[in-house]
Amino acid sequence: MKIAIGNDHTACELKKSVIAFLEEKGHGVINMGPDTPDPDDDYPAVGEAVGRTVVAKEADLGVLICGTGVGISLAANKVKGVRAAVCSDPATARLTRLHNDANIIAFGARIVGRELALDIVRAFVDTEFSGEERHIRRIAQLTEIENRG
């Protein structure tokens, strides 16, 4: 699986840990965020870039990390076709894939530590969408809202 990962200046070290974890699991990684903590690196551009990469199918899934996970996920969710979810625990990460077919996970470097972040990523990447009719119907409703603008 290929995974696009992006971050802001608060998450450079955590991103390195996530990349190493994903590569150790045999996944390809597209690093789309800064590697040094320059506070002038703005998360909206990174969130959009990861979102566009996932929607274009250049990556199967995306991982976004900023201070809280919220800002960068908001940017990604502006890209049509993105379903990015902020998760601070593995159960939510698993359920957002299983029920919502989320294609991007986001979390906060100031909110979760390294080990919890890796557990969140593992749960997200290792879970497939259930394909249940009720979930397909609800995702279609989300797409309708998105298309109405």
Residues with catalytic roles:
66, 99
Phi, psi of 127 (to 5 degrees): -105, 135
C-beta separation of 49 from 68 below 8 A: no
Residue ranges of E strands in the chain: 2-7, 28-31, 61-66, 84-86, 104-108
Separation CA 26–CA 92 (nearest Å): 24
119: Cβ contacts below 8 Å, ≥ 6 apart: 90
